[in-house]
Amino acid sequence: MTSGTTMRMRSVGVVAGALLSFALIVGGADAQTLEKGAADYKPFAVEHIGKALTGAKRLQAAVKANDVKAAQAAWVESRKGWEAIEPITGEFFGKLDEAIDVWPDAKHGYHAVEAAVFAGKLGETGAAVDELVANLAKFENELKADSFKFDPQGLLNGVTKLSYEVGENKSKGGESPYAGTSLIDMQENVEGIEAVYKLVFEPVLTKDDAKLAKAIDDKIEQVEALVKVKELKALDQPALNKAGEELAVLMQSAAPKLGLKAPKLGD
Question: What CA–CA distances, in Å, run from 183 to 15, 38, 84, 153, 252?
Answer: 23, 28, 13, 28, 25
Confidence of residue 22 (pLDDT cuts 50, 70, 90): very low
Q: What pLDDT score was predicted for residue 23?
A: 41
pLDDT at 213 over 90: yes
Residue 174 pLDDT grade (very low, low, confident, very high; cuts 50, 70, 90): low
Question: Angle CA(198)–CA(211)–CA(37) in degrees, nearest 5?
Answer: 25
Lowest mean pLDDT among 22-26, 143-147, 242-246: 22-26
Percent above pLDDT 70 for the chain: 85
Cα atoms found within 13 Å of the Cα of residue 136, Cβ hemisphere only: 33
> Which pTM does this prediction carry?
0.86
Q: Are 148 and 142 a contacting pair, CB within 8 Å?
A: yes
Q: What is the band of 119 on the pLDDT scale with cuts at 50, 70, 90?
A: very high
Region 92-100 average pLDDT: 96
